[in-house]
Chain A
């Protein structure tokens, strides 16, 4: 009953269009004042202690690292490298777009920024080369979402924070699905390009490939520092994030020289703005999950589901549908912070691996970014392509179907995600 009141309140407040963080906070306040006798002082304390946690601080550090490298110059290097490696196959520039998006998204950490950066450079080139606009738009919109699956990923930090799952294991678990999804999106591109006989690039020489690799090497090292540092036990994930932020600063200012020292305060301010927004949602989501736990709502839900005779297979299906619907209205971080505290205890009770469940949620978020009505990638892509949302939706359809198929595989074939972390003894 209390669960219905809480979710009814939250849903009503959210539908009025107020910021998600405020809707969460007001739900908690209203519920605590109206229906319980938890002292409000406890709420005030939770507001502060909610994010008084070193693990959460990986969020601002990763955002800062990404912002240093979210630059047109870095995007160009990734595209040149990708085009020299795969441009001579069917799909040419389109295939290069998938690879460039995967690389840039992993480094920048932002899906919409990837779509804009890679799209603004690659789309004009693709149209000039004779690709239809819708083909290019489809490739970039969907491949831009790869960033939240390939580590370092902010959404995974969110999941790790709200469920106490090992962030290192989540990052490792994201690697194989990330590569497989990039491969599948590339395959879709290749197949469609071959069928329609789209232009290919001349094969690049190994010297050109070497040069392109050396150019993009510094950016890609960021992933190696984070993953290698965490795996080798050199740093905790948060420390790895801080190291990567300093590394990204050095690369952007002294190696690539895309930024001047005088640009640094602006990057810091933009990163602080974005991180503070996410930390504010986290603060209020912590309050929200405190209330949920206090009312034992996840337990009731789990008991009810088990009582209904719902097994893991049906439960995962329900989760997927729920998350896909939520993906229609909210951005990934908010969804993970609201849904994970409810669904995760149920999943654990059903014997689903925490890391597997986390990766499944992340893949869901990826799909949500690319489909209407509010896929952020769609809007951003519509801005750079000057195509309407409906037209774009039609254009992304083949890749979106591929992603949905991949989602089913990730959901029901745990070894795909768990093989690497288990082999490395990370749990």
Chain B
């Protein structure tokens, strides 16, 4: 499963970087095209950047869906654990497994809603037309306002992202049942602090672990 981990990390890193660059360039374009530099100004005015905002939104939506799946693996999705931390170790474990399975159930439900939504909004038509099958009663589905991209392609983020997230929840639950270990995100991590101090700096977000 290493390839899936790498693909996931690589995908959200690129989406984050590209979205930032696009918005940055669109703003620069807006101001740079105001300067009367021969040649450059004409070239800049010929460029159409009206799609930048829409593209940023979609890139971030994809980043959010797949990043949320990555977040399950890094343990960044936190809940209210004050109540269950007061329970006995066995009961607490059961609650944690329940929480993880609830996450898997919810994301599975979303993946299936999203999947049927995408299917009925153009994916069905597109795939059948590629395969040369009967298109009676099928619709092409709407397109996005600026980029005129079929919306079902954009909305694919829901079935795929949620599906991956569901898989991650199951993966984490399985590891927890087998080894009792949960991924744990360090909210206070800061780079560039002196060696040694940085180790001390690991914050104690799960104090119950010491109570064992």
A19 on interface, CB distance cutoff 8 Å: yes
Q: Which residues of A contact B83 (CB under 8 A)?
A: 15-17
Cβ of B205 within 8 Å of any chain A Cβ, yes or no, is: yes
**B-facing residues in A75-89 (Cβ within 8 Å):** 75
Q: Chain B residue with minimal CB distance to A247?
A: B24
A314 within 8 A of B: no
A401 within 8 A of B: no
List residues of chain A with CB within 8 A of the CB of B207: 379, 389
Q: Is the CB of A265 within 8 A of B13?
A: yes
How many residues on chain A are close to B (CB under 8 Å)? Answer: 84
Which of B17-76 touch A at CB < 8 Å? 17, 19-21, 23-24, 26-27, 31, 53, 56-57, 60-61, 63-68, 70-71, 74, 76
Which of A26, A71, A374 is within 8 Å of B192, CB to CB? A71
A interface, CB within 8 angstroms of B: 13-23, 25-26, 29, 40-41, 43-45, 47-48, 51-54, 57, 60-61, 64, 70-75, 110, 112-113, 115-117, 119-121, 124, 234-235, 238-239, 242-243, 245-246, 258-259, 263-265, 268-269, 271-277, 279-280, 283, 328-331, 373-374, 376, 379-380, 382-384, 386, 389
Say yes or no: B61 contacts A276, CB within 8 Å. Answer: no
Q: Which of A120, A242, A272 contacts B27 (CB 8 A)?
A: A242
Q: For the complex, is B89 an interface residue (Cβ under 8 Å from A)?
A: no
In the assembled complex, the Cα of A245 lies from the Cα of B23 at a distance in Å of 10
Contact assessment for B12 and A383 in the assembled complex, using a CB-CB cutoff below 8 Å: no
Of all chain B residues, the one with the shortest Cβ separation from A372 is B82
Which of B103-111, B122-130, B132-140 contacts its partner?
Answer: B103-111
Extra inter-chain contacts (15) besides given A16-B99, A112-B203, A380-B187, CB under 8 Å = A18-B98, A19-B77, A19-B103, A41-B117, A47-B110, A75-B192, A110-B187, A238-B23, A239-B23, A272-B15, A272-B70, A276-B63, A279-B64, A383-B203, A384-B203
- Say whether, besides A54-B53, A117-B193, A383-B201, A280 and B61 are in contact (CB < 8 Å): no
Please determine whether A115 and B188 come into contact, CB atoms closer than 8 angstroms: yes
Q: Which residue of A lies closest to B78 (CB)?
A: A19
- State the CA gap A329–B103 with chains docked (Å): 20
Give the distance in Å from the alpha carbon of A41 to the alpha carbon of B79 in the complex: 27
Q: How far is the CB of B209 from chain A (nearest CB, A)?
A: 12
Provided the pairs A113-B190, A280-B71, A384-B203 are in contact, do residues A18 and B102 lie with their beta carbons within 8 angstroms? yes
A20 → chain B closest CB, angstroms = 6
Question: Could you say which of A15, A45, A242, A273 contacts B71, with CB atoms under 8 Å apart?
Answer: A273
Taking the closest CB of chain B, its distance from the CB of A269, in whole angstroms, is 5
Quick check: A277 and B68 within 8 Å, CB to CB?
Answer: yes
Partner of A112, one of B13, B23, B96, B187: B187
- CB atoms of A53 and B57 under 8 A apart: yes
Complex: A65 Cα to B82 Cα, angstroms: 32
A residues near B96, Cβ cutoff 8 Å: 17
**Given known A72-B193, A258-B192, contact A120–B17 (CB-CB < 8 A):** no
User: CA of A44 to CA of B114 in the docked complex: distance in angstroms?
Assistant: 6
Alpha-carbon separation in the docked complex, A329 to B78 (Å):
11
- Taking a contact as CB atoms closer than 8 A, the residue among A44, A51, A72, A280 that contacts B77 in the complex is A280
Would you call A113 and B68 a contact (CB within 8 A)?
Answer: no
CB pair B204–A379 under 8 Å, yes or no, is yes
Residues of A within 8 A of B157 (CB): 48
CA gap between A14 and B81 in the complex, in Å: 8
Contacts A54-B53, A64-B20, A274-B76 given; indicate if A383 touches B189 (C-beta within 8 A): no
Contact with A along B148-168 (1 / 0, CB 8 A): 000000110110000000000
| B60:A57 contact, CB within 8 angstroms | yes
**Is B188 touching A113 in the complex (CB atoms < 8 A)?**
yes
- Residues of chain B within 8 A (CB-CB) of A70 are 190-191
Q: Contacts A29-B106, A246-B20, A384-B203: A272 and B79 contacting too (C-beta < 8 A)?
A: no
Most buried by A among B16, B68, B103: B16
Contact partners of B211 in chain A: CB under 8 A: none
In chain A, what residue has the closest Cβ to B77?
A: A19
Q: Is the CB of B57 within 8 A of A57?
A: yes
Which residues on B sit within 8 Å (CB–CB) of A276?
Answer: 12, 63-68, 70-71
Interface: B9 (CB within 8 A): yes
Q: Does B80 contact A (CB under 8 A)?
A: yes
